[in-house]
């Protein structure tokens, strides 16, 4: 196994064994060094967002003191779910190596198929309604009137 | 404005004014009561995952001591990005009211159009490669051999 993936795999085993969450692990590498490694902690933290990739990103951001993880590579034991793919893109991580497939995860009861359907515009699984458009759209006018150097 | 959206809106204004993050706010309601309210803290926390919706979900999960937010409704000042939509679905939040559109957000420099392209299978914006499939697929066999009551 790839040496970084092996660390992600060990994370998955250790998290699952401790009943901290599902069998998922991730590591973030920059310039040939580990920046962070993490596993799924949804059960431990009772936090639905505590996926291995999100945890690894949060630790790496703290360590590098930046929300911008450009130049980092992520190794993850399973194809990231849409939430984690979004986090990876916001973090500007350019390269991702994953092990298991969505279908493997579904076999373990972790099925994100309906997420992809929803993101394609099929709102059956989520009641998503727009209200108060005009007032909220103004937030971006206020934002644009400010000076921002960091975003 | 809807009374819950007004609280989300005030969160957005307060976060933006304090330069803690972009102009986004969210609240989570259950049985007519506020469970959590939050704003974007990407700049404050230097955490790319610290969107208003994710923060609100994390606070609500802590408060309700559960990763399962079934029965909750989320009000957010802007159409949630794919990361946050994923988090909403993992949290089992069934109803979402949003204010501004993706296009409004893009006007402020918050453009997630490439995320949707990527989730449709267009990998141009992210180098996503599979390695070590066999070993990682086994994680779900190990998982299935364990007894899980909480997931």
ipTM of this complex prediction, to 2 decimal places: 0.94
What integer pLDDT is reported at residue B89 of this predicted model? 94
pLDDT of residue B60 exceeding 60: yes
Contact B132 A5 (CB under 8 A): yes
Residue A47: which of B43, B58, B79 has the nearest Cβ? B58
What integer pLDDT is reported at residue A35 of this predicted model? 98
What integer pLDDT is reported at residue A147 of this predicted model? 73
Report residue A102 as tokens: 């969505």
Residue of A nearest to B19 (CA): A148
Q: Is the dihedral angle over the CA atoms A140, A70, A113, B151 positive or is it negative?
A: negative
Q: Residue B101 burial by CB count (10 A; 0-12/13-18/19+): exposed, middle or buried? A: middle
Contact B112 A46 (CB under 8 A): no
Structural contact between residues A29 and A35, judged by C-beta atoms closer than 8 angstroms: yes
What integer pLDDT is reported at residue A122 of this predicted model? 64
Give the pLDDT band (50/70/90) at residue A150: low
pLDDT of residue B132 exceeding 70: yes
Q: Which residues of B touch A135 (CB under 8 A)?
A: 1, 5, 9, 99
Interval B62-104: pLDDT, tens: 999 999 999 999 999 999 999 999 999 999 999 999 999 999 9
Report residue B16 as tokens: 């933006």
| Interval B45-57 mean pLDDT | 98
Residue A131: which of B47, B65, B97 has the nearest Cβ? B97
Structural contact between residues A137 and A144, judged by C-beta atoms closer than 8 angstroms: no
Report residue B76 as tokens: 């957010």
């Amino acid at each position: 196994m790839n040496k970084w993936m092996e660390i992600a795999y060990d994370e998955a085993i250790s998290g699952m064994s401790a009943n901290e969450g599902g069998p998922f692990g991730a590591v973030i590498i920059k310039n040939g060094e580990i920046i962070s490694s993490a596993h799924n902690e949804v059960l431990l933290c009772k936090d639905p967002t505590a996926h291995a990739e999100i945890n690894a990103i949060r630790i790496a951001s703290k360590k590098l003191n930046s929300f911008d993880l450009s130049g980092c590579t992520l190794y993850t034991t399973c194809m990231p779910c849409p939430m984690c793919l979004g986090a990876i893109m916001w973090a500007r991580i350019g390269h991702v190596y994953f092990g298991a497939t969505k279908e493997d995860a579904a076999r373990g009861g972790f099925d994100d198929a309906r997420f992809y359907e929803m993101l394609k515009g099929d709102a059956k699984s989520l009641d998503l309604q727009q209200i108060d458009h005009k007032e909220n759209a103004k937030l971006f006018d206020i934002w644009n009137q400010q000076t921002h150097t960091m975003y």
